[in-house]
Structure 1
Amino acid sequence: MFDLNKDDLAGFDVVVDALGGWTPETVDVIEDGEKKLADLLQGTNIRLVVVGGAGSLYTDAAHTKTLMDGEDFPEIFVPVATAHAKALADLRKRKDLNWTYISPAADFQADGERTGKVIEAGEDFTLNRKGQSVISYADYADVFVNEVLNPTHNKERISFLQA
């Protein structure tokens, strides 16, 4: 990915950034990868759609506190959540780039059931009627692909959870 150049991306309508890293040695690829792609796409009509994180979702009305700021946020996820928050902050500064950042729910379940019933939330950490913030990979993939194919959020972060 880091060897890509502008010509490699010419002709595409959308580029999806789903690059991730979990270890101290690899977590920087989240921010560095987003920045690399954003730099390549800036000034083009190609959209960048990012698989984001939930840790940067806001937990207060003033949008000054995030999920990862809470004392119950698992310490093991802080580096990943911080990297995603930095990547999102970089996107927000860009004026000549079409991007969408899509956060999953806090409980992002690899083996979870596809329900087809999701709630679109914006910047705020949201709970469903059961008091949960959960989404399966399958439901997330469905809403993600829908946003890629039918873009409705430009220069925005959105999030999804199961109803």
Structure 2
Amino acid sequence: MKIGIIAASGIAGGHILREAVMRNHDVTAIVMNKAALKLDVDTIETDLFYLTPEQIQPFDVLINAFSPPLGEAHLHVEAGKHLISLLENSEKKLFVVGSSGCLFIDRNKSIRLLEHDEYPKHLVETAKHQLQNLHDLQNSSIQWSFLSPSVMFDSDGPRTGHYILGKERVLVNSQFNSYISYADFAVAVIDEIENNHFVNKSFTVASENVNSTS
């Protein structure tokens, strides 16, 4: 499968890149600076806002792991709109790395995590704009999936390959922790791309069989 990964030199994008390469997918990194890449793969060196239909034409799936600088969370929405416009009238899929703040915390799905008093204040704006990104996907005509991490998103956690999936609510594992390592998140991303269980849906993931703390 031909996969383009936007922000493949970032934390989330880097883990997804390694997972895709390990599974022998045909991967292209889409980055601002290819010198920042830790793997030798095909590269498109550009700002995502300058991506063209011609550049993404070879891909079956485009993964958006873009993370704007602090204070510029609104770029999530602008990036999302640009990517939706690029993929309109095509069979290509857009896979988006979402935000835990988009998840509901109650059974009635009336309160999202970003609205909870204990949700980190510095993440609220990102979550709000990621939620708008999700709404834009839901109102689009393209094929997409939107994966939100658990509350604790651990960049140093192990790749266990063991995880559980949920839909729109905060998910906890058997240890009652809402936890996912970046490595297991990447496993879930590539699994979904290979299996297409959540087409035009948002979902979430938590690591299982790992010693995590809440």
Measured against the shorter chain, the TM-score band is over 0.9
Cα offset for 1:42? 1.4
Q: Paired residue for 2:155, among 98, 106, 110?
A: 110
The partner residue of 2:130 within 84, 102, 105 is 84
How do 1:48-127 residues align onto structure 2 when only pairs under 5 Å count? 48-94=94-140, 96-127=141-172
Matched pairs, number: 161
Aligned counterparts of 1:138 and 1:11: Cα–Cα separation in 2? 26
SS in 1 for 2:67: coil
Structure 2 stretches of 5 or more lacking a match?
1-47, 209-214
Contact preservation (8 Å) 1:19, 1:29: no
Please provide the CA RMSD for this pair.
1.1
1:18 to 56, 61, 65: 65
- Equivalents in 2 of 1:106, 1:32: separation in Å? 25
Match of 2:203 in 1: 158
Q: Hey, what's the Cα distance between the residues in 1 that align with 2:84 and 2:63?
A: 11
Pick which of 2-11 and 128-137 moved more: 2-11
Q: Which of the pair has the greater relative contact order for Cα pairs under 8 Å at 6+ separation? A: 1
Is the 1:14–1:46 contact (alpha carbons within 8 Å) kept by the matching residues of 2?
yes
The DSSP-based 3-state class of the residue aligned with 1:101 is strand
Query: Which of 71, 89, 106 matches 1:43?
Result: 89
Q: Where do 4+ consecutive residues of structure 1 move more than 4 Å? A: none
Aligned-partner residue type, residue 148 of structure 1? I
Q: Matched residues in 1 for 2:90 and 2:109: separation?
A: 31
What's the % identity of the aligned pairs?
Answer: 28
CA contact (8 A) 1:116 1:139 kept: yes
- Asked whether the equivalents of residues 109 and 136 of structure 1 are also in contact (C-alpha less than 8 Å), the reply is yes
Larger radius of gyration: 2
Structure 1 runs not aligned, ≥5 long: none
Partner of 2:73: 27
Give CA-to-partner distance per residue, 1:2-24, whole Å, 9 cap, x none: 11122222131111111112411
| Partner Cα separation in structure 2 for residue 149 and residue 131 of structure 1 | 29
TM-score (norm 2): 0.72
